Structure 1
Amino acid sequence: MAHSTTNYNLDQKFEFTAALKKSIMTVLVIGAVVLAIGIITAMMGGHDHAEGGDHAYHWYQRLFANIWINNVYFTGIAIIGVFFFAIQYAAQAGWSAGILRVMLSFGYWLPFAAGLMIVSFFVVNHDIFHWTHSDLFDPNDSHYDKIIDGKGGYFYWPMEKGSFPIFFVIRLVVFFGFWVFFFNKLKNLSYEEDIHGGTDYWKKIRTWSALFLIFFAVSSSISAWDWVMSIDTHWFSTMFGWYVFASWFVAGLSAITLVVVFLKDKGYLEMVNENHIHDMGKFVFAFSIFWTYIWFSQFLLIYYANIPEESVYFVERLESDVYSPFIFVNLVLNFFLPFLVLMTRDAKRHAIFLKVVCSLIILGHWFDFFLMVQPGTLGQNGGFGLMEIGMLLVYASAVTLVVMGALAKKPLVAKNHPMLEESYHHHI
């Protein structure tokens, strides 16, 4: 006799135990201590000397660069949770009905990300974004930069170039505002569906998902230009929006997979079987290759054309003693490892493989953002040390606390989803 979803406890809630909270808080505290030691070491190092530029280097610039790397990176993981949720509805997917709440839980970080990002922009702007210096826009100043002056309208319109980057700030606020709005809309409809059932809510969520995906398509690219590409103001790449999206997407998929596997290990999500796990493994595998394709396409076109304003980006990184090793770390963790380990069917079904690969991919894509931000902000004064490790641990554990807390608030399964039965019988 065929099983029905009614055999399962569909009201099951995740219990965020005191022991688990304590473990995550311990990591957060360790991260904070490591970060503090890193900051003190940097202050004692007294790096206040100019290296091939007009501006001296100060310890806090490295701290600011780390804040920015983690802000952008974890914002991406949060928005990808909502994006992947919306994709399931837009594609009328049934297989994923049992794990929708896991995707949605990542969106709870978005309000925190918005606050951190907007506040930190006003603190770090001069040290992260070269274009915020007003002397670059004054033709009579020795620092005048014709190229940056030409791009000034993109940051400052309709105000005077070099004053307050109102256009940039408006985009920052609007993107987060809409992302949080769409997340709340999808979340509330999803929870209401639990109470009322029927297919009306599924249709409503589908409509809102489609609207969100259209907005996300535009905002994810522009935010990549604003928050990351504008750091290297002279440089540009027409593939950059895709590149940042691909990096976010693989990291987000890996995080979702890790949470699903973790919940399965703890005895939750009874409906989720090895076929669902296999599908998540396939997504991680496929989009790791997609990321590599974008990485290689951007690199090859720039390498082949050899135009100075494009190639400077890779020259800065490949010829640097500080950053060149990380290019290989980036490629090994984000392509070779998932490609070779997840190639077989069995590997995608085994929790142990997925745990290792997904954890390393999350670290790998952090390095990807590290490589995008540090060279343009710190030059040769960057690197991977205590400050980077500490800040990463603080952010990662804070995000984990928020996501786990969100999972504990409501039932783990969308019990009135019209395709729950299909998800239960999912077999590949």
Structure 2
Amino acid sequence: MAHDVQNYNLDQKFDFNAGIKKSLLTILGIGAALLVIGIVMAMAGGGHAEEGAEATGHAFHWYERLFANVWINNVYFTGIAIVGVFFFAIQYAAQAGWSAPITRVMLSFGNWLPYAALIMIASFFLMGHNLFHWWHAELFDPNSPEYDSIIDGKGAFFFWPMEKGTFPIFYIARMVIFFGFWVFFFNKFKKIAAAEDQLGGDSHWFKMRSWSAYFLVFFAVSSSVSAWDWVMSIDTHWFSTLFGWYVFASWFVAGLSAITLLTIFLKGKGYLEMVNENHIHDLGKFVFGFSIFWTYLWFSQFLLIYYANIPEETVYFVERLSSDVYGPFIFVNIGMNFVLPFLVLMTRDAKRHGVFLKLVCTLLLVGHWVDFFLMVQPGTLGHNGGIGFMEVGMLLVYGSAVALVVLGGLAKGNLLPKNHPMLEESYHHHI
């Protein structure tokens, strides 16, 4: 290896010190306080049937809003965690050299996956009956006044091989298999990375490339099916052939924003000296490009449904656009996730300066949370949703918990892949 790279401390480790932990725990505490205030307010104001609740035929309860919030954050932060692993695998499968010093930053997001799996599976058992309309046995009974032929037709997708309306074993099996393999691949990558640090040589890089290819094939299928399962099935009558792509794009932009913010944060703390403004520029280009890609998918889905004007499809957008609660957020969603990032990151300089990227990436992380809020709340809460103390509190609790786990994982290993065969290439990276 050339003398240049040796000028750097390749054995550096991230010091997850008390100051950073205290800051994150403070945010967690503020979030928990807001969450409690939100719950108390919902208990005081809830319990009676409101406009949207009457439509669904039952009184609205405060805990339903809590359940919807847990689900939004489960899906959202699971996506950010798996995108970290996905983007890491892309670097190896594409034999990318520029990204060598930040691959460990990407992989660190996978540390949330085991926690995400436990919370997701537990919350489905606790809350699934309230969140997912299709888990109501009477919908599948032809003699019941509640019988729904459309949902009955989709029943096997949830309940096979058991009787429809009983226990959604097929659905739960998919959830367990997806998380199982995601965690397996994450641990495999971590193990190969640790071996590469200790033993050196190119063999680990080739091994990582092979495993990355297997992971990407599995991810292609599992990310789409999980989007149908965890989000689209909330609006059981409605469907979109673009939906798997759409959720992936939302996850990907949020994940890229989180990776970029963590990289800039580490740079600010004096780590990753090898990472220069050219690497930051590349991350900025990814964020910029894929925020446009997300917008393209949003618009494609909307335009086709608008133009075809088929009632079964348009109901999804009509419900949201005509609602006093959700209507304004559709425009907030487009503004935060497309208009502002597009205008701010358009120039070359903006993509090379931390201050612009910090602003845009923070905006995008909140913006894509709003995107998932719009996908989940209308179908679960009707007109009883909205963004209040409970939503903000839950987001802060989840966000700070994920940050604690990710940074804790990052501190356990080497920050730089010191024996990566393309480290020299990355050092000379210039655009």
| TM-score, reference length from structure 2 | 0.98
Separation in structure 1 between the aligned mates of residue 65 and residue 57 of structure 2, nearest angstrom: 17
Correspondence for 2:46: 46
* Aligned pair partner of 2:251 in 245, 248, 268: 248
* Aligned pair partner of 2:425 in 388, 412, 422: 422
CA deviations over 1:385-407 (Å, ceiling 9, x no partner) = 00000000000000000111111
* Aligned pair partner of 1:387 in 378, 387, 390: 390
Correspondence for 1:302: 305
Correspondence for 1:326: 329
Corresponding residue SS for 1:52: helix
Correspondence for 1:32: 32
Q: Which runs of 5+ in 2 are unaligned?
A: none
Separation in structure 2 between the aligned mates of residue 75 and residue 260 of structure 1, nearest angstrom: 20
Corresponding residue SS for 2:55: coil
Separation in structure 1 between the aligned mates of residue 195 and residue 370 of structure 2, nearest angstrom: 39
Matched, 1:123 2:144: no
Separation in structure 2 between the aligned mates of residue 375 and residue 422 of structure 1, nearest angstrom: 49
CA deviations over 1:58-84 (Å, ceiling 9, x no partner) = 100000000000000000000000000
Correspondence for 2:22: 22
Correspondence for 2:117: 114
Separation in structure 2 between the aligned mates of residue 223 and residue 215 of structure 1, nearest angstrom: 12
Separation in structure 1 between the aligned mates of residue 56 and residue 283 of structure 2, nearest angstrom: 47
- What is the correspondence of 1:154-173 to structure 2 with a 5 Å cutoff? 154-173=157-176
Shift of 1:324: 0.6
Tell me how many residue pairs correspond in the alignment.
Answer: 427
Separation in structure 2 between the aligned mates of residue 22 and residue 14 of structure 1, nearest angstrom: 16
Corresponding residue SS for 2:225: helix
Q: CA RMSD in A?
A: 0.7
Check whether the contact 2:46–2:60 (CA below 8 A) recurs between aligned residues.
Answer: no
Separation in structure 2 between the aligned mates of residue 353 and residue 127 of structure 1, nearest angstrom: 41
Letter in 1 for 2:263: V
| TM-score, reference length from structure 1 | 0.99
CA deviations over 1:270-308 (Å, ceiling 9, x no partner) = 100000000000000000000000000000000000000
Matched, 1:79 2:82: yes
Correspondence for 1:336: 339
Correspondence for 2:5: 5
Separation in structure 2 between the aligned mates of residue 369 and residue 72 of structure 1, nearest angstrom: 8
Corresponding residue SS for 1:51: helix
Shift of 1:126: 1.3
Separation in structure 1 between the aligned mates of residue 388 and residue 331 of structure 2, nearest angstrom: 17
Correspondence for 2:107: 104
* Aligned pair partner of 2:68 in 65, 70, 78: 65
Shift of 1:51: 2.5
Letter in 1 for 2:203: D
Corresponding residue SS for 1:234: coil
- What is the correspondence of 1:245-394 to structure 2 with a 5 Å cutoff? 245-394=248-397
Correspondence for 2:412: 409
Check whether the contact 2:258–2:361 (CA below 8 A) recurs between aligned residues.
Answer: yes
Separation in structure 2 between the aligned mates of residue 136 and residue 115 of structure 1, nearest angstrom: 29
Letter in 1 for 2:98: W
Shift of 1:3: 5.6
Separation in structure 1 between the aligned mates of residue 8 and residue 313 of structure 2, nearest angstrom: 56
Q: Which runs of 5+ in 1 are unaligned?
A: none
Percent identity over the alignment is 75
Corresponding residue SS for 1:148: helix
Separation in structure 1 between the aligned mates of residue 29 and residue 339 of structure 2, nearest angstrom: 33
Shift of 1:113: 0.1
Matched, 1:194 2:211: no
